[in-house]
Structure 1
Amino acid sequence: MDRAELYAVLDRYLAALQDRAPQRLRWAEGAKTSENNVMLEIGDGLWGTIDRLGDYDLRFADTRTGQVGFFGVTHEHAEESGFALRLKVAADGAIEEAESIVVRQSDSGIKFLNPRFWDKAVMNSPAEVPTPRAEMIALADGYFSTLQQNDGTIRTKFHPECDRVENGVQTTRNPEFAYVVPVAALGCEEQFRMGNYRYDDRLRGRRFPLVDEERGIVMAFGFIDHCGRIKEYQLTDGRTVQSPIRYPHSFYLAELFRIDAGMIRQIEANFITVPYHMKSPWDGQ
């Protein structure tokens, strides 16, 4: 399927979701759906509680694998939540897989205050200098390897202006986020060179199911495990800081990497707390 056809399937899915009408869609035989890392029956979960979608609409497609992705916002009662969605579509337009994350702050063990969801020009334009598919995946995987037990070593390539947005909050070049990240005023690479994320013990179950080669976007899924044993640690500039997570804990994440000219230009992630070391229903890792 081409991009327009995949976007048409996405539009039908979102319209049906907003109307709580999964029966309007064409589902492949044996179709699988998950919400927040749990397999559900078609029509369960958000399908029964959504009031409306928000205005934020970031979409991307992998025409080689027949997959389409979406980052947006859902509203349920008084709850505004970041929303990530991946659909795998058969050649005849039937939906084979639907994987979603709904970042409900009321359920969150670690809250990101004052989230907002806004269009970013860099995420909505074609790559100026396209990067080969395998290299795009390697750069995204290298980001996770840089984050895992972060000691200041860089295992990917960052654009000098790379920024990151997580659960609707910019977590780079944002001094207001220092209540969670002491080096929040720095850019992506500078934060990692400081070794700030030492407490991220494992980046596990990494999957890269969707690669939009034209737009330069990789959609990745995985888990961040925190053993919770680190109380304090030293940054590479000599400062001693406290770990924000002091108990066994895991995040399940959907993360976008915008890549141009062989460098990560922008990152956007939605993630939730799940039981420690929870496995993926998609690959069991």
Structure 2
Amino acid sequence: MAAKIRNALAAAWLCSALAPGYVSSQVQARCDRACLEGLVSEHLTALAAHDPQRLPTTSGVKYVENAQHIPLGAGVWPIAGSLGKYRHVFSDPESGQVAAITTITENNIPAIYLVRLKAEPNGQISEIEAQLTRDDDGAILYEKMANPDPVWLAAVPEPQRISRARLVAQVDKYYSGMQGNDPRGDYSFFDRECDRLEDAVQTTNQHTGDTYGHSNDTSFASLSCEAQFQTGFLGFVTRIRDRRYVVVDEERQAVFAIASLDHNGTVRTLPSVNGTSSPIPAYFDVPRTLLGMEAFRLRGDKLYRIEMTLAELPYGMRSAFDSKNSNSAASQFPRPGNSTSLTTPSRPCNRTCLNGLPLRVLRAMLARNASSLPLARNIRYSENGQFLGLDDGLWLTLSNVSIPDVDEYAANFADDSSRTAGYWGLVKELTTPGVLSLRVQVDKDGKITEIEAINVRAEAPKGRGNTITLMRPPLPVEWEGGELGRLGGLFQGNGTALKGSKRNATALAKVAAAYFDGLERHSSKRVPFAAGCVRRDNGALQGNVSCAGQMDGRGQFPNGLSNSTTAVRDRRVLVADRDKGVVLAVVMVDFPATTKGGRLLSETEIVPSTYMVPQLIKIDHGGAISRVEAMIKWMPFGYTSAWGELGLEGKGC
């Protein structure tokens, strides 16, 4: 049926294109509800068959999965299993877009799957935007429901409908009301009988006494939609941006929206709902961004039904479909409020200056004030690969740092040839410990042009609350914030660049490149390891296997994933310190969650993942690697840092 509709549509498009007065939007409108729903069925069938070639796509089709640009056919495509019964579809013939909430299995584990398709006038798909919410309990609940509430599917008589613009405006009030959630706000846009589903769980008008999601409050879920907003309980959502109203189903008076929900970590308590204020859960100690795909059904001009689910992104990540919020340096910072620092006197920064620069930046973060720093006008600051302002992220949450040459687990690095400085050490954000790697770049006048922070936090599911378990899989080696011991003289102190040493910055970078090549090949050939080389991942030694043995697959490497990782990309040397013989670097390691030979997958191997791996590589005077200290941060599959998108990576995909 769908193929017949598409063929008829293509013929109509061709005839109209040749006719006088051709208007593409008129043709596009011919992909009616049946046509759009047919495309959803084709997409899901192709997904279950692991065959994107079955889809009628444009040559330049854009595929995005959990906000990451990846090739069509990657990500969930090789591991998708059976399709679920639950399917809730939203169609917008006017814009040629359709979205669906459904379920699938992923490596035999149930997951909630949401997808948006954009159809061109000829019936071909030009955009596919998918979200995997890996909540198997929620997926099972959806399967028990089998079908959406019938009210979603009923056509609304034309006299009772409101316009497209009004539908969008009313939904936007929801996001504006949640952002900061002022308890004194006007929330009359909710219908008195409004109900909300979150991962198939009804979270309004419920009197079960169960706690609400991320909190220990037992009253919030008993309230109506309007009463919940009137508590101010959701104020830990500090910003909702990149709001897109992608499907406006006028016939059914429904809107399918996509937005990024930022939690900057500054809200410390949840307002009283049951008579007692609650501490903010540890999950929200640190800055987080959650990608929300959310459907709204209106009755009159009021929000009547809401159905939503979330996936976690790196904090501050921009929408893959909003060019206004690109990661281009031109759209970045400093923001107003940082301009006073631009007049701070500066002077050329020698090696001594560089060694002290990271701590100077960290102290400015602790003081919540960048004005003491000599910032260049085009300063760029990134955190975990995303550009932020000097009034966001760690600038709001950092509470303690370890000091090089004072504390056991801290060291600084410098390369005066490239005017870069680095730091590696234990830090704390409010109550959450982390290991921070920091790069600071200055220009010839000593002004800071770039600050790059990567913080690998202790956020294992154990003891962290239910929310974290929904947002990422466990790592093979989890660091739970315990002692990491002494970083040691290998990475501390003031080493010397001996005459004849193979430790200039260029030589150090070449050794690091050989090491990354070996990681990608899973082979230690042509990688110069010293005898007795030691590597730690997230503070844990990988057994008693040598560095070469780990790389050759005789141990669990990297990070317990053995030979199942693929690309090692977005490679960047942050600092190459010739005196200490240390390279501070970061790479992305892709793990597609596919295996050969039908091997039984562990819990850590179910989900396609990309690992952001900051690391210290110690290189001796002969050019051999003697120690590697690595921290592992989980990212959505296909993640590339903003620096990589700017073309500043050492090696592309």
TM-score tier, shorter chain, comes to over 0.9
- Does the 8 Å contact 1:206/1:222 carry over to 2? yes
**Does the aligned pair in 2 maintain the 1:154–1:192 contact within 8 Å?**
no
Post-superposition offset of 1:115 = 5.8
Q: Comparing both structures, which one devotes a greater share of its residues to strand?
A: 1
**Closer, same or farther in 2 for the Cα pair 1:121/1:146, shift >3 Å?**
same
Match of 2:192 among 137, 152, 160: 160
Confirm or deny: 8 A CA contact 2:199 2:309 kept in the other structure: yes
- Separation in 2 of the partners of 1:254 and 1:225? 14
The partner residue of 1:176 within 198, 202, 210 is 210
- The answer to whether the Cα contact below 8 Å between 2:99 and 2:116 also exists between their aligned partners in 1 is yes
Q: Which has the higher helix share?
A: 2
* 1:215 correspondence with 2:255: no
| Structure-1-length-normalised TM-score | 0.92
Deviation (angstroms), 1:114: 8.3
Identity across the alignment (%)? 32
- What's 2:41 paired with? 11
Q: Deviations over 1:172-229 (max 9, x none)?
A: 1234243535311111111001111011100011111210000111111111111112
Select 1:274's aligned residue among 305, 313, 325: 313
Change (3 A) 1:114 1:23: closer
The amino acid across from 2:50 in the alignment is R
* Root-mean-square deviation over aligned CA pairs: 1.9
Find the counterpart in structure 2 of residue 43 from structure 1.
Answer: 73
Listed as ranges, the gaps of 5+ residues in structure 2 are 1-30, 326-653
Q: 1:23 to 1:114 in 2, by over 3 A?
A: closer
Tell me the equivalent position of 1:109.
none
> 1:116 maps to what in 2?
141
Contact 1:216 1:258 in 2 (8 A): yes
Q: How far apart are 1:166 and its partner, in Å?
A: 1.3
Residue 73 (structure 1) aligned with residue 103 (structure 2)? yes
Please tell me whether residue 97 in structure 1 is matched to residue 134 in structure 2: no
- 1:27–1:192 Cα change, 3 Å: same
Structure 2 distance, partners of 1:114, 1:3, is: 26
Which residue does the alignment assign to 1:145? 176
SS of the aligned residue for 1:56 comes to strand
Deviation at 1:98, TM superposition (A): 0.5
Please identify, of 5-14 and 204-213, the stretch whose mean Cα deviation from structure 2 is larger: 5-14
Q: Normalising by structure 2, report the TM-score.
A: 0.41
Contact 2:111 2:132 in 1 (8 A): yes
Provide closer, same or farther for how the CA distance between residues 8 and 198 of structure 1 changes in structure 2, counting only shifts above 3 A: same
- Quote the residue 1:185 is aligned against: 222
Asked whether the 8 Å contact 1:139–1:156 carries over to 2, the reply is no
In the other structure, the counterpart of 2:631 is: none
Gaps of 5+ in 1: 107-111
Q: 1:42 to 1:210 in 2, by over 3 A?
A: same
CA distance in 2 between counterparts of 1:76 and 1:130 reads 39
Larger radius of gyration: 2
Structure 1: how far apart are the matches of 2:97 and 2:213? 37
Distance 1:104 1:226 in 2: 20
CA drift of 1:233 comes to 4.2
| Contact kept in structure 1, 2:187 and 2:229, CA below 8 Å | no
Task: Determine the C-alpha separation between the residues in 2 that align with 1:52 and 1:31.
Answer: 25
Q: RCO greater where, 1 or 2, for CA within 8 Å and sep 6 or more?
A: 1
Correspondence for 1:125 among 154, 157, 167: 154
Aligned length: 280
- How much does 1:43 deviate? 0.8
